[in-house]
Structure 1
Amino acid sequence: MLEKFRRAKEAEIHVLRQMAADETLPKPLSMQRPSLRRALLSRGPGAVIAEYKRASPSKGLINAAWTPRQAAEGYARAGAAALSVLTEEVHFQGSLDFLPVMAEPGLPVLRKDFLLHPLQVLQTAATPASALLLIARMLTLAELEAMLVACRDHGLEAVVEVFDTTDLAKAKAAAASIIQVNNRDLDKLTTGLRISEELIEHRASGEVWISASGMHSAEDMRRMQGVGYDGLLIGTRLMQETDPGIALTKLLEEMNGA
């Protein structure tokens, strides 16, 4: 599956290379970006990163009626610590144009996409995003290190996503400081929280950890909170509702025993 996503990004990277050669790439924004790390540490364990995801390869169209502005306002009002935004266009119906709108409430925004080249980091720096996602399995160690350097150079935080111990070893070798465990089995396209419980045993001092995918209830969220996850990324579970903001309010109330 990841190889399919890699191929889908080839045209985008080609365009960015041409823009770089022509010196027409948008310039990085000069701004103080809210910190995802600080937001999770101040609100966690169990701080929610609420995701705006219109579609996915496994679910098809999820919720195209809810706009990015409604998402930003609804999630912020519900108590999200940060926002995640799918920007991949081919398979997730996302757009870079969602990022400025989602940043309006002032919460840290994570760009979630398949980012493989430092020019995509520069592209992200031209938006108000605070952080971007790097999938360890899609990058060699040298490529991951280069992407992390590019993030630091442009004032962006990097969330390095892992699926197993091999991915985690690569993330740690690259000195990733924000690690996201994806609970999805890429072969079976199923989810289970056991991998999050297993991998967090390898957490080192100074690292911030996020659990993503497969949390369907407040009980699931408390389970991940209980083993020490600073952040919980909730996407499809919310976006399947008519009003994901109200759905998040209810989940947080249940999780916190209100």
Structure 2
Amino acid sequence: MSPKRNPSQLSIFPEISGDLAAPSIATIPEFDKALGNLIKMSDLGAFIQINIQGIEKIYSLNLHELHTPPDFLQNNITPAPITVHLFPQDTRNEIKKLTYEVKAFFNRGNSFKTSFGYFLFRSHFPSWKTYLQERQDALNQYLSDTLSKGVYGQYFLDHFQQGYDYFKDAADETAPWVFRDKILLKDIQEIRNNLMETQTTLSLLKATDLDFPFHALVLKTAHIPMVLHQFQSQVHVHSVFKTIHLEYLSDNDINTIEDVRKLTEKL
């Protein structure tokens, strides 16, 4: 493999690239200034981006994508695709409120907003860490209080049933499918385990199988935990410290927070 060199870029390791004549970025004055500005900026604070993971649980159903034969469907017409949420709208709204409260920490006294997150002043790092953990604990407590004692399991069954009814309503009487009278969590778990052991995917399912709708839904919802504690283990409220490219720091002087603010307005 031969090294590729862009003449508009400076090499960090010219001795490795084989072009010893190429100047290293570490030897030019601009690099020293940019690195110095980066160090001073780090003393002032850091760019923070908030990530909230694991809250939104949905699946979509499209019988056309599942290669369902048209003659299995009423009037040979494929119904419009649907998207199904694990939680009802009111529960989703309450969870969103709790996640929005994370941003309530930021104000003019401890940060300023940028196009790619917040610049948090360094003196407020400890309080931000504490606040973030408090928000995580509050969210977990809400989930426990609201979704325990079988509530979460019922929500899972309800959203699974919506997809099952979608199949049932679309099916023509000529379809070979046999629909179950009652869906139980233990049956879903059993089929999940079987399909996982056999490494069965949606593309391997046969639409002519009697239990095709049930198996298709088990695979469609496989990414959604069936019990509350597993769902909670996927919910995380955390922040990511972002950096800034050195090229933006070579033509600026960073000494104060106001200097950082003016720099971000140019980006």
TM-score range, shorter chain: under 0.3
**Greater share of strand:** 1
User: Which structure has the greater CA radius of gyration?
Assistant: 2
TM-score when normalising by structure 1: 0.19
